[in-house]
Amino acid sequence: MQTSLFDELTEEQIDLGQGCSLRLLQQVLPAELAGTCLQRLAALELEQTRIRIAGRDVPIPRLNAWHGDPEAAYAYSGVYFSPRPWTGELQACREYCEQHSRSRFNSVLVNLYRDGNDSVAWHADDEPYLGRNPLIASLSLGAARRFRLKHRSDKQRKPLTLTLPHNSLLIMQGALQHHWLHTVPKTRQACAARINLTFRRVIPDLH
Ligand SMILES: O=C(O)CCC(=O)C(=O)O
Ligand SMILES: [Mn+2]
């Protein structure tokens, strides 16, 4: 029987006001492809980048790698990365994420959270070379993790907690990076590995 690629797809939209919105899609890749991508991406050459915080050189609490088109160099907390080339799995994931988000991406940051001790601190994806109001498409594979958002200045706004399960796509768009911060906190619950791919469009002239 021929089934549509998007048969199981479900979508939830969250409007946060001030031109900020989120879309959370489930079952974005065909199930078998999601499984093979998780295995193969976890076998990529990943590293524990070091960043400077308050004058100290600190390893980030996760492994990562930057892949993309040659011109899409990327900087994170003052560290520059030349993109590694696209692999077959990254290319396949990019195509699905582009279709679902109706956007084009020239780069992806691969993050591996080895277990519940790995995390990403509060931050926004607001680097100048992503341009104004960048659309970020964030694909999660493997263990489900909590993803929290808090408003930067309005302390009356309640923080938001989402769970990002295997094979889900979180699309952050509009002015979200301007007004809100996000984090994947550590968890004490036993937790297997999780791969997260954040697809971005770097505008090389803005470096
Ligand atoms: O792992 C995630 O869900 C988020 C990763 C993230 O925020 C980032 O790489 O900028
Ligand atoms: Mn981020």
Could you give all domains of the chain from N- to C-terminal order, each with its CATH number?
11-206 (2.60.120.590)
Which residue shows structure tokens 């931050």? 123
The tens digit of pLDDT for each residue in 128-138 reads 899 999 999 99
Distance 40 CA to ligand 2 centre (A): 23
Q: Which one of 64, 182, 194, 195 would you pick to mutate in the ligand 1 pocket, going by the greatest count of ligand atoms within 8 A of its CB?
A: 182
Proximal ligand: closest to the CA of 198: 1
Helix, strand, coil content of the chain in percent (nearest 5): 15, 40, 40
Tokens representing 52?
């400077």
Question: What is the identity of the amino acid at 16?
Answer: L
184: Cβ below 6 Å to ligand 1? yes
Which two tokens mark 106? 């020239």
Residue 42 · residue 195 · CB < 8 Å: yes
For residue 64, the ligand closest to its alpha carbon is 1
Q: What is the pLDDT of residues 10-57, one digit of tens each?
A: 999 999 999 999 999 999 999 999 999 999 999 999 988 888 888 888
For the stretch 79-107, pLDDT in tens is 677 899 999 999 999 999 999 999 999 99
Cα torsion for 86, 169, 171, 8, to the nearest 10°? 120
